[in-house]
Structure 1
Amino acid sequence: MGVAAAAGVLMPVAAAVPAHAQTTKPYSTPGTYTLTVPQGVSQIRVVLTGAGGGGSMGTRNEAYMVPGSGGGGGATSFCTLAVRPGDTLTVTVGAGGAAPNGDGLSGTASSISYSGSGGASADAGGGGHTGPSGHGNAGGAGGFNATWCAGSDAGQDFGKDGAPSVGKDAGGAGGAPGAGVSSACPAGTGRGGNGANPAPPPHQRGLPGGNGCVVITY
């Protein structure tokens, strides 16, 4: 028996070392990426936000002042997905809708897909509308349709609609994204673009929608 043990002294036990430190991977630039699941990982936590829609144009003529309306916000979805080491995930980050002359354009959805089970998607917001003949215009619809996450502890929150123009003076605000956007995403993620204030030719364009974001933690 060792001297330390005989004296009743307890020797320290080395702390268990985790298989890996927690890793968080944010994707916030529009495009498509691949991620290979590393060894020792059997589940991942994902948070996705779709892109916002663009705001619409503002105009003015002798009879009417026509502000633009806001684009809709992108939806947010989240869950824990079951994966296997070596699985290849395809990650798509949605692009914010443009704001050309006329109506704003819809953004595009963010998604994760891989072979086997599971996957996730967060829908994008729609573009704001320019009212006909100077009458009221509607804001873009918030993202909702293609929003799901096929895993455990799943949840979703739809994007908010863009606001119509405020009277005849100011463009409507863009809609907020669905609640739960990851703190690892840039400010403005998934937000709809504001509609433009009324302006004479060559008109004033609204603002583009915010890009989407996908965050993976394992």
Structure 2
Amino acid sequence: MSKGTPYISPEYNPHALQREWGFLVSAERHELFEAMHKSLGTFRAVLCGSVVQHAAEGSESSDAMPGHSAKVTSEGIAQEGEQLYREVGLDIMTLALLADVPASRPLHLTQHSLIGHWRWLRDVWRETQSRPKYDATAFQTRDAVSDAVQNGKNNLAVAELRKMFKEVQHAPENDGLYISFLNSLSLFCPFIGTELLWRQGRIDHDPLGRSGTKDKEGLIE
């Protein structure tokens, strides 16, 4: 992709987002990439800590300290973080590891689960990628998602994130709600979250292939 070229596709493409934002996300969430080569259970524990840490930034510190994450098994998919990252991307991987049960309980990953989270992110992308830039100055810094995270309830936090997305769909004129949703989305899905926040002028850096790009509408290459 040449410099100044808008986003490559109107459809959700996790691998394209990782190419565009890998330099920034790998620096801001370095703890995830440092643990990527470990087992899914170990990576899940690091992931929980990362989400709690970033949810607490700019607010009161959380009392929820993630303990040792329970074992993660898989069926027909990779059993360590680095390989799963290459196959499905971090955003889908994160939702799959945190959505269904508390991190203190064992988790069994399946293809069906991964596909379900991919479909949800595809719906998020279709709903948001063409939205205009908003000038929202008032938006919630604390919401049900961040409250659940800071109470150590990772699966409830993801459920609240999905609920928040439905509210965004039903209230497209509520720009403050939309920005709050993107902030919460970026906790769990930093690649799609960063892209959408950038389009709202809330990320200082430009993506790798669009340095200096003024058009953030996401046109087809």
- Tell whether the structures are fold-level matches, with TM greater than 0.5: no
- TM-score calculated relative to the size of structure 1: 0.25
- TM-score calculated relative to the size of structure 2: 0.25
Greater helix proportion = 2
